[in-house]
Structure 1
Amino acid sequence: MNNMNQLSQKEVAAVVSARPIIYRTRGTTQGPISRLMSPGDLGQILKPFVFLDLFDLDLHDPRSQFSVHPHSGLATITVLADGDLHFDDPADGSGYIAFGGFEWMRAGGGVWHGKEMSAGKSPRVKGFQLWIALDPELEHETVESQYVEAHCVPTTGPAHVILGSYGGVSSPARSPHGVTYLLVKLRAGTRWTFVPPEQQTVAWLAVASGGLRGDVAAQAGEMLLFEKSAQPFSIQANRDEDAVVVIGSAVPHAHELHLGRYSVHTSAESLSTGEANIERLRKLLVTAGDRSLLSGSVPVFKG
């Protein structure tokens, strides 16, 4: 009963006193991809969240297909807001990820990937790719991937729980503690309050489609940063259309960001180790030659 009372008080507070928005952006757009956050800019404020792309792609067009590229020291999470993708990875099987599903990958000490996901059944696919900086105990761990279909993702109210726990349910993603990531679909005109989990004072949202009105007004393609606090905030869809948004909250990342082109680490030494391993894997990848599957995809290369 006490917890319910506390929650009600927080929800009322969110309505009476809106949590301040400190910044909003549409990022930079190149073709079908909008870069809303990078490790060298907003990632410094929102860490452990360090990178966010909003994509709207026709992957049936060879010119739009994902390319093979490396990572180290971070985790990536790809969430679909519309359409679907086909995944094909010898270690994890094959299938389709649609709205509410996701791919989670901990790059750890180093990985090359990019061809395990390809065009699905839909003409286009829209979604977000997010990077999360890892703490020292995880930034050189072994590579780990998960492809989670939509029916396996728990929901609470209008929210799909992509990372962490919220509303009494927990994501199947094996993600670090202290991070929450939600995909929320609000029906036209409806309102919903996000109450940050304990100690998660970093918060932001981005809109994939539709728009929000009221204190947290935003349109498709916008990202909003909230003032660091434990204060809830309410979102309300426009009267005439549904809205699809992602919301991230986290305990602040306690380490400086040391950046490579595809890597994020907690120290210069750690970055050097990660990039050396990426180069080692690149040479092994070249030596391995054509690793295409019958489906045409190339699986994750972990070495």
Structure 2
Amino acid sequence: MSQFNSNDIAAATTPRRITHRTRGFFHGPITRLMSPGDLGQTLKPFVFLDLFELDLHDSRTQMPIHPHSGLATITVITEGDLRFDDPADVSGYIGFGGFEWMRAGGGVWHGKEMSAGNSPTVQGFQLWIALGPELELEAVDSQYVEAQSVPTTGPAHVILGSYDGMRSPARSPDGITYLLLRLPVGSQWTFVPPAQQTVAWLAVARGELEGDIGAREGEMLLFEQSEQAFKVQASPNGEAVIVIGSAVPHAHELHLGRYSVHTSAESLVTGEANIERLRTLLVEAGDRRQQGGSVPVFKG
């Protein structure tokens, strides 16, 4: 029997209220579901979410190298795979349930550290998380975690944080949970937020949800702030692949640059100045491409 039975009953009888739903904005093969200037203000520390479906064998769909500071990015694969080949890590492939974690901290340039894998196309989510004052100007930290190293509980892959006794290997801040689920046809599962994690949302990569929380492929749902559990149920027409995020609310105002998110105007100035310093060093470093076509994260 599940340890969450009492919460299952609560979720079934008093559904958690959905406050907003969106299908975002389409940019070719990328759907922007959330940005720091819109829904990120409500869901912080979660401030940005893209759903992408790319053919990285086609150079026209590859991401440009770009900077960040003050935030962390987490890229989760929901279909297909990507190859990583970084001097600081062994080479490998990230498939369903695998992820890249990258804490930009005080400044980084990235965007081509993963290249085309074995699949014709790859689908996944890229999420940005606003860091607190203690981490927003710290050194860069990046990880590539293959699917077999990601713990699971039921249908849930624990991407960030801890859930049901399983802890992600990601070196992420406390107070954040991020799960990837593949729900079999018609099945249901109850998410019970960890204590004090009152911010919650979900997004659907493939398939549909029905019941109290109906959602279509490509849709993102925001929930009212509470610690209430909620139940997700796959349609009888096919499996559903979704991500769920929950967190302790981010207590700081967001100070935004083009690629940066900080907790104060002063830290934003510091982060963006370091990005410019790294730009000069990046140009001086010349061609850094690996044999497989990837370009390692540039930390200076």
Q: What TM-score, normalized to structure 1?
A: 0.98
Letter in 1 for 2:53: D
Partner of 2:197: 200
Tell me by how many angstroms 1:165 deviates: 0.3
Partner of 2:287: 290
Alignment partner of 2:283: what SS?
helix
- Name which of 144, 148, 160 aligns with 1:147: 144
Tell me by how many angstroms 1:295 deviates: 2.0
Partner of 1:218: 215
Alignment partner of 1:112: what SS?
strand
RMSD: 1.1
Deviations 1:230-280 (A, max 9, x none): 100000000010000000000000000000000000000000000000000
Q: Does the CA contact (< 8 Å) of 2:115 and 2:292 recur in 1?
A: no
- Confirm whether residue 273 of structure 1 aligns to residue 263 of structure 2: no
Give matches, 1:91-106, under 5 Å. 91-106=88-103
- 2: CA distance, partners of 1:248 / 1:264: 19
Partner of 1:17: 14
- Name which of 143, 148, 153 aligns with 1:156: 153
- Confirm whether residue 255 of structure 1 aligns to residue 252 of structure 2: yes
Alignment partner of 1:89: what SS?
coil
Partner of 2:105: 108
Q: What TM-score, normalized to structure 2?
A: 0.99
Give matches, 1:84-95, under 5 Å. 84-95=81-92
- 2: CA distance, partners of 1:120 / 1:242: 24
Q: Does the CA contact (< 8 Å) of 1:66 and 1:118 recur in 2?
A: no
What are structure 1's unaligned runs of at least 5 residues? none
Deviations 1:82-105 (A, max 9, x none): 000001110112110000000000
- 2: CA distance, partners of 1:293 / 1:51: 29
- Confirm whether residue 171 of structure 1 aligns to residue 168 of structure 2: yes
Letter in 1 for 2:22: T
- Name which of 228, 234, 237 aligns with 1:240: 237
- Confirm whether residue 185 of structure 1 aligns to residue 182 of structure 2: yes
Letter in 2 for 1:224: L
Letter in 2 for 1:79: V
- 1: CA distance, partners of 2:290 / 2:97: 27
Letter in 2 for 1:81: T
- 1: CA distance, partners of 2:290 / 2:94: 19
- 2: CA distance, partners of 1:218 / 1:122: 27
Letter in 2 for 1:297: S
Give the ranges of 4+ consecutive aligned residues of structure 1 lying more than 3 Å apart after TM superposition.
none
- 1: CA distance, partners of 2:270 / 2:166: 37
> What is the number of residues matched between the two proteins?
300
Deviations 1:116-136 (A, max 9, x none): 111100000000000000000
What are structure 2's unaligned runs of at least 5 residues? none
